[in-house]
Amino acid sequence: MKVYFLGTGTSQGIPVIGSNHSVCQSTDSKDKRLRVSIWLSWDKYSYIIDCGPDFRQQMLVSNCQRIDGILYTHEHSDHTAGLDDIRPFYFKQGEIPIYAHQRVIANLKRRFDYVLKQKINIPEHLELNP
């Protein structure tokens, strides 16, 4: 199994906008971190844990070509705001199951109804698995 840490930063990413903290001012590449997301791959499987607002950039850098499912740990935006960026994977491969606690799924349905219901995006038959 390959575990690819796509992002390990805080909810605001590192550096934080407008911060004078020494880490945010650092020139060390290790102090440039995107928000949390993980890509797990093994054999022919490819799963994502959380996809926040940096998800598009993370996918471009990682060269991930397929997503077999997404696990959301909780409903905060820094873990879910990248749901829009799942659409190219859906258009290419079809349905992508989403796994989460029921409260997270309810939140996603409310916040991303335009993605989860419109045929031009991820259609309503997308699996939501509590």
pLDDT of 32 reads: 87
Quote the percentage of the chain above a pLDDT of 90: 48
DSSP string, 46-104: EEEE---TTHHHHHHHHT----SEEE-S---HHHHGGGGGGHHHHHHH----EE--HHH
pLDDT of 117 reads: 63
This prediction has a pTM of: 0.83
pLDDT of 120 reads: 32
pLDDT of 130 reads: 53
Q: Decide which of 87 and 54 is more confident.
A: 54
pLDDT of 129 reads: 54
Q: Are 8 and 37 in contact (CB under 8 A)?
A: no
Q: Decide which of 119 and 14 is more confident.
A: 14
